[in-house]
Structures are given as C-alpha cells and as structure tokens.
Amino acid sequence: MAFFSGLCSIALLLLAIGYIFQIPLLQQLTADARISAAVMFILIGFTHLLKPRKLSYMIEGMIPWPVFTVLFTGVLEILLGIGLLILSIQYYAGWGLMILLVAMFPANIRVAVQNLPAPGGLPSKPWYIWSRLLFQPVYILWIWWAIN
C-alpha cells in the first residue's frame, strides 16, 4: 500500500503542478500516471540495490541465488522505470514492468502464506500482508492504462 500511496501522491502532485503552471503534458492523467510509476519503480529499484538482504528472505528457498535475484530485479525496475519516461520505448517498458510484477507475485504470496514480515519494515500484521496481494493487479492495471 505504501507503493500505491506513492503512485497516487506523485500523480496528483504532477496533475496539480500541470494545472497551476499550465504545463500541457502534466494535465494528462496518463502522462502523470506514467511519470509517477517511473519514479516509484526507480526508487524501489534502488532499494533493491541498496538493501538486497532485506528483501531476499522473500524468495529464499524458492529460487537459487536470492540476493542476486533481488539485485537483478532492482536493476530491471530502474531500467524499465526510466523506459517509461522515454516516448519511443514506454510501451515496451510498461509491458516489461507488468511481466516483472507477475513474476514477482509468488514472492508476495509466500510472504502472506508463511506470515513473514512485510518488506522494508512495513507493518507485519496479517491484514496488511494479505492486502498487499490485492494491490499487485492494481499496479499492473495502472501501468497498462498509463501506456495505452
């Protein structure tokens, strides 16, 4: 939910800036959604790079080389997030992020089923851990809408 809060906050801030300063690009909801997704994925990607061991517990035992996998997904999040900002490749970057979200979903399921702590020091209450699963499709729809 923290990711969703960031998406919405950035998008609304960009929209407000667009109307206040009469910036046509920022008066388009899809552009604001795309930019906010780019910012959030870039930030999350850097979190993967800076603290991979704080996320690798989510996939330990599921796949080999969990720390490398966290680092790799962090790099993908950063590159694909940047790709959302480049007009000629934003469609492909968006699809890449949607595929990445689907690929990472089993880790979130594992956290919920095994009642593991939420990543990044977020609340570890069962309601929060399980509610995180509901937001994954929302992020996919957000990106799909922003690139179409």
Every domain of the chain and the residues it spans: 2-145
For the stretch 55-110, pLDDT in tens is: 999 999 999 999 999 999 999 999 999 999 999 999 999 999 999 999 999 999 99
Return mean pLDDT, the chain.
94
Q: How far apart are CA 88 and CA 61, in angstroms?
A: 39
> Residue 130 burial by CB count (10 A; 0-12/13-18/19+): exposed, middle or buried?
middle
